[in-house]
Amino acid sequence: MRLIRLPVKTESLAKYSKIPISFETVTQFQIKVVKNGLGGIVLSEKPLKSILKKDYDQLEEEGLTRWLKQFDTSKWTIFFALENDVIVGGAIVVLWTPGIRMFQGRQDIALVWDIRVLPEWRRSGIGTKLFSRAVIWSKKNGCRFLKVETQNTNPSACKFYVKQGCQLGEINRFVYTDPRVIEETMLVWYRDLSDSIS
């Protein structure tokens, strides 16, 4: 397997969009607020009554090229994982870009905007290699932290980021307004880059 890096353009996004982001889960994190938050917040993984199928690409009619219209993507990059010249996974990493709330005004943060692997290649180490490359690239670009957003409906992704050295930094139960995801809780993970390999 090899990794290549491309700018975020129409052509690269077209290739990237062919990698499904959809997943299925039989558990999710339940968020329990103790004493209205004064006693802390407890995350516990609970089984679901039936399989939950999620596909966040389906939430947007325009597809991934909408990002080109919404943002200046000149500081964005795509890493592709190729096996025998076939794209099996990818990650989009974003440096400071005006208009993205996730930066919270900080220019020393990079975002893992999106990461995905073909279903048949999941749990084969490709996600780890993509994330490691994102860490190295972010540090080389002067960032102190790598930040990534997940939801309580995706425990596998949360556990993956913990294995990559991330810590939970934010929980927001009220951020989503789209009726299709309004019940989901945002979980934001931070990877400290100060101990990463340059």
Q: Residue 198 above 70 pLDDT?
A: no
Which has the closest alpha carbon to 73: 94, 52, 56?
A: 94
The phi, psi pair for 135, rounded to 5°, reads -60, -50
Q: Are 166 and 110 in contact (CB under 8 A)?
A: no
Average pLDDT, the chain: 96
**pLDDT tier at 62 (50, 70, 90 boundaries)?**
confident
Please compute the mean of the pLDDT values over residues 184-193 and round it to a whole number: 98
Rounded to whole angstroms, the Cα distance separating 92 from 106 reads: 19
High-pLDDT (> 70) share of the chain, %: 98
Q: What is the pLDDT of residues 93-105, one digit of tens each?
A: 999 999 999 999 9
**pLDDT tier at 196 (50, 70, 90 boundaries)?**
low
DSSP-derived secondary structure for 47-79: EEEEEEEE-GGGG-SS-TTHHHHHS-GGGEEEE
Q: Are 27 and 155 in contact (CB under 8 A)?
A: yes
**pLDDT tier at 189 (50, 70, 90 boundaries)?**
very high
Please compute the mean of the pLDDT values over residues 125-133 and round it to a whole number: 98
Please compute the mean of the pLDDT values over residues 3-28 and round it to a whole number: 97
Q: Are 8 and 77 in contact (CB under 8 A)?
A: yes
Structure tokens at 191: 């990877």
State whether CATH 1.10.3210.10 applies to domain 2-192.
no
Instruction: Name the 3-class secondary structure at 24.
Output: strand
Structure tokens at 40: 């802390």
Q: What are the residue ranges spanned by the domains of the chain? A: 2-192
Burial status of residue 181 (CB atoms within 10 A of its CB: 0-12, 13-18, 19 or more): middle
